[in-house]
Copies of this chain bind each other. A is one copy, B any other.
Amino acid sequence: MQIKQILLASRPQGLPDDHTFNTVKSSLREPQPGEVLVKPLYFSVDPYMRGRMNDAKSYIPPFQVGEPIESGGVGEVITSRDDQFKTGDLVMATGARPFLPWATAAIFPGTHLRKIDNSIPPTYYLGLLGVPGLTAYFGLVDIGKPKAGETVLVSGAAGAVGIIVGQIAKIMGCRAVGIAGGAEKVNLLTDTFHFDAAIDYKGNPNLDAAIAAVCPNGIDIYFDNVGGEISDAVMRHLNFFARVPLCGQIALYNVTEVPVGPRIQPLMVTRSVLMQGFTIGNYSTRFGEGVKQLSEWIKAGQIKYTETVIEGFDQLPAALLGLFSGKNSGKMVVKV
């Protein structure tokens, strides 16, 4: 059969652009015994993918030039030559490389796939019960160790991880404050997701004063999704024994020189601050615990969810780039 694939054409310097991607047509062979032909239905696009475009030592191997980009995704089985799967099953990739290639169809060994439950909207597996939900859960609970009455501030608060962090903070009895870009996102956080306060960093030239105004008792947990100048402003408001789960640094992903900023170590010493960088892979042995807890909160109506769905396989590169200009509210997915 004829398929389309989106390859990494060249490693970007700074922000990816048209030269980064290359859409090609090719033909796909028939599945062999033990293999399964899968048609992707939804792809996830995520900030960490920018890091995989560099040829750098990191926690996931880099994309290869001339090979398809890959990301989390949900697909449908078209043809199966593995007894565990039948036509129409919804599947995701599993194991050490739990990604679907950016292709209109692909062949997998059955051992690299897992079936998902049809009764839950399939995109939930890319968001609330997937990487963003588990990232929010383990980062906040395991590193942040929230105690009732504490103030939790999250940056990138209207993103896929941020909206879940704020809601878990509320469930745990904390004051939840978000920082996001634009009045629309800020309203979403307070009105729909019941954050106690939200700050529009684009509309506040004095972010420092804006933080002080809504965090009168300082900040006990700073869940950092963005880095850069927003984090510089937040750090000054950390309380003694504050915890900083470092989840992402999206403000810095497209920077080509080593970024420079105020040194944070002196403040960390005088206020006994803990900072912990993490990636969700660190918690792979505990995913079951996270999915169980998140599912219970969803069923109890304690966690709401939102996503931005872009339509069309050809829109994958644009959707990924949209993350870096803040085009999404909640999880960004592409419906193929």
Chain A residues in the interface with B (C-beta under 8 A): 51, 56-59, 224, 227-228, 231, 240-241, 246-249, 252, 258-279, 282
Given known pairs A252-B263, A259-B262, A261-B263, the reply for A246 and B268 (CB within 8 Å) is: yes
Q: Which residues of B contact A282 (CB under 8 A)?
A: 241, 272
- Least CB distance from A32 to B in Å reads 37
Give the complex CA separation of A249 and B263 in angstroms. 10
Among B247, B249, B265, point to the contact of A246 (Cβ < 8 A). Answer: B265
Given known pairs A59-B240, A240-B59, the reply for A227 and B271 (CB within 8 Å) is: no
Closest-by-CB residue of B relative to A242 is B277
Q: Which residues of B contact A252 (CB under 8 A)?
A: 263, 265-266
Number of identical monomers bound together in the oligomeric complex: 2
Q: Which residues of B contact A231 (CB under 8 A)?
A: 265
Among B51, B248, B261, B269, point to the contact of A278 (Cβ < 8 A). Answer: B269
- Least CB distance from A252 to B in Å reads 5
Known A51-B270, A259-B266; 17 more pairs at CB < 8 Å: A56-B270, A57-B270, A58-B270, A59-B271, A59-B272, A231-B265, A246-B265, A246-B268, A249-B269, A252-B265, A259-B262, A260-B261, A268-B277, A270-B279, A272-B282, A274-B276, A275-B276
Say yes or no: A272 contacts B265, CB within 8 Å: no
- Least CB distance from A236 to B in Å reads 10
| Secondary structure class of chain A's binding surface, majority of residues | mixed
Q: Which residues of B contact A258 (CB under 8 A)?
A: 262-263
Q: Which residues of B contact A279 (CB under 8 A)?
A: 269-270, 272
Say yes or no: A260 contacts B259, CB within 8 Å: no
Interface centre among A59, A248, A265 (most CB of B within 10 A): A265
- Least CB distance from A22 to B in Å reads 26
Say yes or no: A263 contacts B260, CB within 8 Å: yes
Closest-by-CB residue of B relative to A282 is B272
- Least CB distance from A157 to B in Å reads 18
Interface centre among A224, A241, A275, A282 (most CB of B within 10 A): A275
Given known pairs A246-B268, A270-B59, A277-B271, the reply for A263 and B227 (CB within 8 Å) is: yes
What 7 A-B pairs come out closest when comparing CB atoms?
A268-B277, A269-B277, A259-B263, A58-B270, A274-B276, A275-B275, A261-B263
Closest-by-CB residue of B relative to A58 is B270
Q: Which residues of B contact A269 (CB under 8 A)?
A: 246-249, 277-279
